[in-house]
Chain A
Amino acid sequence: MNKIKNAFENGKAFIPFITCGDPDLETTAAVVRAAVENGADLIELGIPFSDPTAEGPVIQGANLRALNGGVTTDQIFRFVRELRRNVTVPIVFMTYANVVFSYGAERFISACKDIGIDGLILPDLPFEEKDEFLPFCHKYGVDLVSLIAPTSENRIAMIAKEAEGFIYIVSSLGVTGVRSEIKTDLTSIVKIVRENTEVPCAIGFGISTPEQAKKMAGFSDGAIVGSAIIRLLEQYGKAAPKYVGDYVKKMKSALI
């Protein structure tokens, strides 16, 4: 049932984040295919939200471009179903609690199962509130991915013990975005995670270069990259798939 763990069986996992509909769904499809062909192990697909409070300016921009293009949750569901005809790597949705809640939690999560979504990342749903959606995630076999932050401290063990799919370790304070340096003591966080769960963990927020990815994956199970990829979409628009493919290849080769 758990397809997500397959993503961590080919060396350290490389996990790109792509916002659906930025600038349109045809481009998103081509970007996903280019990423997979070049070694992406798991795809994190963003469903855009009007007010993404955990995102920095780059991903805020992607959300805005996608929503201005008119993309909706229903269109994204149809798009993923189509994509699943020949894309087999695990795919998770990243979105905000209101996108799931307003659609109807059970309706949304059962649709995830139908179209082949393996997990759900909701940055505004902490451990204390996960019962909002967890019963449906269990019912339909969709993993609810837990996040651990640099400030989690005494909460790490509690979160890790109940984690599913994979654990998303937030590398730095603040919002998403490229950083020149990551200062958090991530090795101690990963150590506590390992003591409490078998579930793999990947690190995200601030990673953009192969060196950073290699370093982060060196003491975890993978690297998640969002803003650096979104920047390529911002720069190249519909022509971005080729550039994203080249970038993913470079990043993945640093992880093998």
Chain B
Amino acid sequence: MTNPKGRFGIHGGQYIPETLMNAVIELEKAYDYYKKDPEFNKELTELFNEYAGRPSRLYYAEKMTRDLGGAKIYLKREDLNHTGAHKINNVLGQALLAKKMGKTRLIAETGAGQHGVATATAAALMGMECVVFMGEEDTVRQALNVYRMRLLGAEVIPVKSGTATLKDAVSEAMREWTSRIDDTHYCLGSVMGPHPFPTIVRDFQAVISKEIREQILAKEGRLPDAVLACVGGGSNAIGSFYHFIGDQEVRLIGCEAAGRGIDTAETAATIATGKPGIFHGMKSYFCQDKYGQIAPVYSISAGLDYPGIGPEHAHLYDIGRAEYVPVTDDEAVCAFEYLARTEGIIPAIESAHAVAHAIKLAPAMNKDQIIVITISGRGDKDCAAIARYRGEDLHE
């Protein structure tokens, strides 16, 4: 689906400073070589299975299915991976690639902290230096993850510029990369940024849909009717969708963070409220004003609090292959609590956005239909913030 310049329809591309061009060209060449290298793939599979705990379970949520009274619901348990989220899939791939390229230092941005923790983990495992950029506001709402990263040996740099959230962390990581390229790989955490990142990250996350496909065929003998995943930049969603893109009968539904609602300014729902633009190295949809100034977006979820969406999602939306729906803070918090009570699974607040939409969707579907929801991460990191949202004075 990618052409040589890394386009997904009109989206994607490489809108970055000249200083970084040779770095992304070098990365593309290395990736094109190693993705076909049996040794690289063997090592990566071993890391996935032995270190990260793959394949992750596809769990039949029987109580939730009964309670909602419609479609059969399966949960793809990415929350059970080592480090507690899907982020580890991409990071192990990129860290291994960086190591093969002779890089000794990883830098990364992080929102909720899950990608930062995963990067710090891979760096510790592979003996690499690690620096993580994190919006100052996010270092406060995800303090536990900051501690985890430091525990793993990473340096965490709070970013104070702009809205001090994920977008500013990306900008700062890009700035850092332009100043130190030789020994440093920018381990981008989502299917965004300049080519080849959206393709590399998607390929490493595609293991999610590869497994869902095999698992659902083994359990049900058929493909699901809908696959739901939350979307910020969109890495767990593209990973969940990828091996179903050719199956027109499978609905692909990305759940965006609507924050306080898409009719308010406090939202991060890019497809619902954004328009085409060029930012962070890619052409895609972005929340912005009429002069192209990037909007200060908002979501309760630090991981979805980003004003753009990956270029492949933008393309899947353009051609009508995937649907994108907004889910508010309130709906996500209710779903967070619902899944905890109903199935004994505390999802990340990000993943709770997908659960929230399933709660709306399932009752309207037939009992012989199947929904798969990707639980992209575990919710331990969110408990204090959700307690505060509910008015409890709980601090870590």
Contact = CB atoms under 8 A, between A and B. Distances in A.
Interface of A: 49-51, 53-54, 56-57, 60, 67, 72-74, 96-103, 123-129, 132, 147-155, 159, 170, 173-175
Contacts of A60: 161
A91 B367 CA distance: 67
| Interface SS majority for chain B | mixed
Contact of A50 (B21, B283, B293): B293
A105 to B, nearest CB: 10
Interface stretch (B59-67, B237-245, B272-280): B272-280
Interface of B: 5, 13-23, 161-162, 167-168, 171, 174-175, 178-181, 275-281, 283, 286, 288, 290-294
A60 B181 CA distance: 22
B279 A173 contact: no
A152 B19 CA distance: 7
Given A173-B180, A173-B181, A128 B19 contact: no
Nearest to A168: B18
Contacts, number: 118
Given A124-B281, A126-B17, A54 B291 contact: no
Given A73-B291, A174-B178, A124 B22 contact: no
A127 B18 contact: yes
A151 B22 contact: yes
B278 A128 contact: no
Given A98-B288, A151-B23, A126 B277 contact: no
Contact of B19 (A57, A102, A149): A149
A151 B181 contact: yes
Contacts of A67: 293
A159 B168 CA distance: 30
Nearest to B178: A174
B182 to A, nearest CB: 9
A53 B14 contact: no
Contacts of B174: 53
Nearest to A56: B175
Contact of B278 (A98, A149, A173): A98
Contact of A124 (B5, B17, B276): B17
Contacts of B22: 151-155
B161 A54 contact: no
B13 A173 contact: no
A53 B181 contact: no
30 contacts: A50-B293, A51-B162, A51-B167, A51-B279, A53-B280, A56-B175, A57-B161, A60-B161, A72-B291, A74-B291, A99-B292, A101-B276, A101-B278, A101-B292, A102-B291, A103-B291, A123-B17, A123-B18, A124-B15, A124-B16, A126-B21, A128-B14, A147-B17, A151-B22, A152-B22, A153-B22, A155-B21, A173-B180, A174-B175, A175-B179
